[in-house]
Structure 1
Amino acid sequence: MPAEIILQQSPEVAALIERRERLAAVRTALAERESGLAQTRARLKSFEGRYLRQVGILYAELDELEARIAEREVDLYDSEAARRRAVEARQRAQETHDAAFSDAHEAEEFDPPPNLKALFREVAKRIHPDFARDDAEQEHFTLLMMRANQAYSRGDTEALQRLLDDYREVNTSTAEEGAAAELLRIVRQIQHAERDLAKLDAEEQELLASELGQLHLDAEAAAGEHRDLLAELASSLREQVAEAQHRFELIDRQIGAHGR
C-alpha cells in the first residue's frame, strides 16, 4: 500500500513509467521498420539481379549493335551529323553495358578511409551489445550496431556521426541521480527513435518510387495476372536485337558495294 501511495503522489515517477513504456513501444516499432526496410532492399536487390540477367544484358546487346550501326554510317555518309550520332550511340552503349554488368563493380573490395574506420571504432566502443547494462539495452544496441555496420559498409560518415552524437546527447546526464535525469534521457531517446522512424519511412518510399521500385511493382502486378513481365520485355528485346542485327548486316553490304 505505501508503494501505491508513493506512486500516486509522485507525478515524476508516473511520467517516468509512462515514458519508459513509450520508449519500449517506439523501439519495437523502429526494429520492425528496420526489418521491413531490410526486406524491401533485399527484395529489390534480388529483382534487380533477375532484371539484369534477363533484360539488362539484352539492352546492352541492342545498344552495342546500334552503336556499331551508327559508326558504320559514318563510313557510309561521312557527315558531321553521322559522326555526332556515332559518338552519342557509343556513349549510350557504354552506359548500358556498365549498368548491365554492375555486379562486377560491386564485387570490388571496399577500402574505407582511415577517418571512417576511426569513427566506426568510436561508435562501436559505445553501442556494442556487449556493453549493454540490461536485456532491453542489449536489444537496442544490437539494432544500433546493425545500423552502424550498414553505414560503415556504404561509407556513410554522416550516419555514423549521428549515432555517436545521439549516444553522447542521451548520456550527458548519466552523472546525475534520480528520476528527473532518467526521464530526460528517455525523452531524448524517444525523440531520436521517432526521428529515425521518419527517416526509415522516407527511405522506403524513395526506394519504392525509384525506377527499379516501380518496375518491381509492375512485375508484381503482372504476376497477379499470371504474366512474367521480365520474360515479356526480354522477348521484345530479342526481336529488336534481331532487327538491329539485320540493319547492321544491310549497311555492311552497302559499304562493301561502295568499296569502303
Structure 2
Amino acid sequence: MDTPEADQAEQQDRADAAGTERLEKAVRAAETALIEFEIAVETFRVEVENFSRLHHQRLGPMYSRLDELDAQIAEAIAARTQDPEDVRRADEARAIVMPMPAVEELFHGWIDSDGLSPEAAAMLNEQPVQPPSRVRPGEEARRAYRELVRKVHPDLARDDAERERREAFMVRVNKAYTSGDTDALRQLAEEWAAGPVPAQPPPSRNEELYLRLEWLAQRKEMLAAAVEELEGSAIGAMLRMAPDDPDALLEEIAEQLLGQVSERESRLAELHASAAPAAPAAPATPAAEDAPESETPGAQ
C-alpha cells in the first residue's frame, strides 16, 4: 500500500519531469531561433564583404582618378594665384594621392620573415602589449623563476595527465619570466602551492539546461552587436539604400563617379587653357594710303 510520503515523492518526480520537459522545449526553440538568426547574420556579413570588395575593385580606380584630378586642379589654381592658402590646399590634395608606404614601413619592425612579433600579435588581438623592460630580468625575478621551475618542471610528473598540467603551467612561468614580471611569478608560485582546483560535481540536467539557455542568450546578444556594427559601417549604410539589388547600386555609383571625373577633367582643361600664354599678335599690314606712291609708266 502506497504511503502519503511515497505519493508525495511521486508527484514531485512528475512535476520535476514536467519542468525539465518544458526547459528542454525552451532550449530547442531558442536553438532553432538562434540558428536562423545566425544564418541571417552570416548572409548579411557576406553581402557586406562582397559589396566592399566589388566597391573597391570596380570603383577604387575612379576614386583614385578623382583624387588625382582634384590635386591637379588645386595645383593649377595655386600656380596661377600664388596664394598661400591655395598652395596649402594643393599640398593637401596631393598628399591624398601620394603612394602608399611599403608594408614594412607601416609596421616599423612589427613584422618580419617569421610573421608578426608577439607584441604585434597582442596588438591585433586587442591585448595589452608588455615588451620586456631589459635584456636580462632582475635578480629577484631570476631567483623566483629558478625556485618555481624546480617545483613545477614537467620532468617531475608521475603520469601523462600530471605532465600535461605541468607543461601548461611552465608556459605561463616562462612568459612571466620573459617579461621580468616578479609579481606574476610570485602569484604563480602561490597558485602552484595551492594545488589544482578540485573537480566540481557535474551539474544536474536542469542546471545544464539553464546554462544552455544563458549561453544562447549571450550568443544572440553578441550576434546582435555584430549586426549593429555591420549596419553602422559605411558599406552597411550603402547596402541599406538598395536592399533588393545592391549590384544595381554599384552601377549607379559608377555612373555618378564617371560624371564627376568628366566634370573634373573639363575644369582642369579650362584652367590649363586660361593659364596658357596668349599667342603674339601678327604684324600690322601697312594701309594703302600710307604706301609710297610708285611711278606708273607713261605717267606725266
TM bucket, shorter chain? 0.5 to 0.7
CA offset digits 1:192-230 (Å, max 9, x no partner): 210211221232133234332232232345x49xx9333
- Residue 38 of structure 1 corresponds to 42
- Measure, in 2, the Cα distance between the counterparts of 1:253 and 1:206: 48
Contact 1:75–1:255 (CA<8 Å) still a contact in 2?
no
The question of 1:176 aligning with 2:196 is answered: no
CA drift of 1:254 comes to 4.1
The question of 1:25 aligning with 2:45 is answered: no
Change (3 A) 1:113 1:17: farther
One-letter amino acid matched to 2:57:
R
- Residue 211 of structure 1 corresponds to 234
- Measure, in 2, the Cα distance between the counterparts of 1:178 and 1:220: 46
The percent identity for this pair of structures is: 24
CA drift of 1:70 comes to 0.9
- Measure, in 2, the Cα distance between the counterparts of 1:189 and 1:113: 38
Change (3 A) 1:193 1:112: farther
Q: Structure 2 length normalisation: TM-score?
A: 0.50
Task: Please list, as runs of the form range in 1=range in 2, the aligned pairs for 1:218-237 lying within 5 A after superposition.
Answer: 218-220=241-243, 223=245, 228-237=248-257
CA drift of 1:81 comes to 0.8
Give the 3-state SS of the residue equivalent to 1:257 in structure 2. coil
CA offset digits 1:134-181 (Å, max 9, x no partner): xxxxxxxxxxxxxxxxxxxxxxxxxxxxxxxxxxxxxx99742573xx
Q: Unpaired segments of 5 or more residues in structure 2? A: 1-7, 101-105, 126-196, 279-300
Give the 3-state SS of the residue equivalent to 2:201 in structure 1. coil
Task: Please list, as runs of the form range in 1=range in 2, the aligned pairs for 1:1-80 lying within 5 A after superposition.
Answer: 8-10=11-13, 11-80=15-84
One-letter amino acid matched to 1:28:
T
CA drift of 1:77 comes to 1.5
User: Could you say which structure has the higher helix fraction?
Assistant: 1
CA drift of 1:112 comes to 6.2
Give the 3-state SS of the residue equivalent to 1:25 in structure 2. helix
One-letter amino acid matched to 1:69:
I
In angstroms, what is the RMSD of aligned CA positions?
3.9
- Residue 269 of structure 2 corresponds to 249
Give the 3-state SS of the residue equivalent to 1:29 in structure 2. helix
Compare relative contact order (CA 8 Å, sep 6+) and give the higher one, 1 or 2. 1
Q: Unpaired segments of 5 or more residues in structure 1? A: 99-104, 121-171
Contact 1:34–1:200 (CA<8 Å) still a contact in 2?
yes
Change (3 A) 1:87 1:178: closer
Q: Structure 1 length normalisation: TM-score?
A: 0.57
CA drift of 1:56 comes to 3.5
- Measure, in 2, the Cα distance between the counterparts of 1:252 and 1:31: 61
One-letter amino acid matched to 2:264:
A
- Residue 239 of structure 1 corresponds to 259
Give the 3-state SS of the residue equivalent to 1:176 in structure 2. coil
- Residue 135 of structure 2 corresponds to none
One-letter amino acid matched to 1:34:
E
CA offset digits 1:79-133 (Å, max 9, x no partner): 2111221133234446xx98xxxxxx9xx9995665979xx9xxxxxxxxxxxxx
CA drift of 1:41 comes to 0.7
CA drift of 1:69 comes to 1.4
Task: Please list, as runs of the form range in 1=range in 2, the aligned pairs for 1:53-202 lying within 5 A after superposition.
Answer: 53-93=57-97, 175-176=200-201, 179=204, 182-202=205-225
One-letter amino acid matched to 1:234:
A
Contact 1:74–1:83 (CA<8 Å) still a contact in 2?
yes
CA drift of 1:24 comes to 2.9
Bigger Cα Rg: 2
- Measure, in 1, the Cα distance between the counterparts of 2:91 and 2:10: 78
Change (3 A) 1:202 1:173: farther
Change (3 A) 1:114 1:197: same
